[in-house]
Amino acid sequence: MGAISIRKLTLAYVLLICSSILSFSQEFYLAQDNKSSTTVSLPKSRIYKTWVSLNSYKGQIKGVLFEIRDSSVLLSNSLVKEDYQSGNIKVTNIWFNDIDHISVRKKNKILNSTLIGSAAGLATEIIAAYSITNNKDESAFLALVYSLPSIVFGAGIGALIGSFRFHIPVKGSFEYFKGNQNRLEKFSYIRETSDGIKIYNNQSEHKCFAGLTFGPSFPSGKFASDSVASTNESFPKTGGYGSLLLGIYIKRDLGLSINYFNSSYNITNSASANYWSFSSILAGPVFSHHFKEYFFLDMKPMIGYVFVNKYVNNISESSGNGLAIFPAVSLRYNFSKRWCMLTESGLLLSNPEYSDSKKSTNAFNIGLGIAYRFR
């Protein structure tokens, strides 16, 4: 597969995983408790749209998750923050034994995700257009022609991901309700410290994961400036890569990962049938640091084997293979119970042996991706 094909695949996939990463407000607010008529001052007010599905097919109640009590939840009827400051709201009390499950989504998340997806789609399309060809006029033409479809597609994917809801089961069980009380508090307008036993929360930690990442790949070191061949015609241009990743977490902050990479780079001043190709299989530990509610920083030092080929007219002209290391770091955002979005960067360092000698063949990768977490 040529570098142009990889780049087109990169463009499509990057658009696919555009999603919203919303910042949490840092305001203070006054909340009115209708039952006690006491005004309390609490930090970090958040409004979450809430859907409470009732047991025995009794239907569904919609509102805003207002407060979590010892054995019930309170839903309010307003999405306007000023109403909470003035006390101009109505609340409905729903007992735990009537609740099958609760779904929540932050206010305006779909709109924000749509806007971010649109911007990401346009930016990705422009970058891809200017990386496909060195002709500025041709790049500008491609960027103009595909700008509207990219915006629309990015907006659609952003809206789709923004529509995800957090799903919290209760099943009419007091044990489940108390086990998820801390979790529910995170989405409640009035938040207090809960002594919930968190039985369900412990059970819902997903230890295994599988995902895909795509993005640009930049030849580095001697591979970029003094190619394996001795002529400038063999210099590789910026290419693209794709990666399949599998792994398991031993603990929340420690795991193991296996990655399969494939990348390709068109050759300078050459037809698309002439290109360099990398394939590698790597494995290593994952060290995770949880620094915000749904954000994780993963450090992944990996080691493995790389296979390098130079193709001329789609026929392998020279090849090499050898050990490789891939120190990488990724930022992961768990936007739903099982799905997460990630961005990853790393430097593939290898010294494969060719028919005549060993030569340094390195590349720097930057990718975006999505992963599914399961047991």
Q: Per residue in 101-119, pLDDT tens?
A: 999 988 888 888 888 888 8
Burial code (b: 16+ CB inside 10 Å, e: under 16) for 140-175 equals: eebbeebeeebbebbbbbbbbbbebbbebbbebeee
Q: What percent of the chain stands above pLDDT 90?
A: 12
CATH T-level assignment (fold) for domain 205-374: Porin (2.40.160)
Q: pLDDT tens digits for 230-245?
A: 444 567 878 888 999 9
Q: pLDDT tens digits for 134-177?
A: 667 777 787 788 888 888 888 888 888 788 888 888 988 898 89
Looking at the predicted structure, is the pLDDT value of residue 67 above 50?
yes
Looking at the predicted structure, is the pLDDT value of residue 213 above 70?
yes
Can you give the pLDDT at residue 43?
Answer: 45
Highest mean pLDDT among 22-26, 136-140, 272-276, 346-350: 346-350
Averaged pLDDT for residues 288-302: 82
Can you give the pLDDT at residue 192?
Answer: 61
CB atoms within 10 A of CB 139: 17
Looking at the predicted structure, is the pLDDT value of residue 184 above 80?
yes
Looking at the predicted structure, is the pLDDT value of residue 282 above 90?
yes
Q: What percent of the chain stands above pLDDT 70?
A: 77
Residue 29: pLDDT band with limits 50, 70, 90: very low
Domain regions of the chain by residue span: 1-204, 205-374
Find tokens 């819902």 and name the residue.
Answer: 204
Looking at the predicted structure, is the pLDDT value of residue 199 above 70?
no
Top-confidence residue, 28 or 328: 328
Query: Is 246 within 8 Å of 209 (Cβ atoms)?
Result: yes
Name the average pLDDT for the chain: 77
Structure token pair of residue 318: 């020279």
Exposed / middle / buried, residue 338 (Cβ in 10 Å: 0-12, 13-18, 19+): middle
Averaged pLDDT for residues 340-356: 86
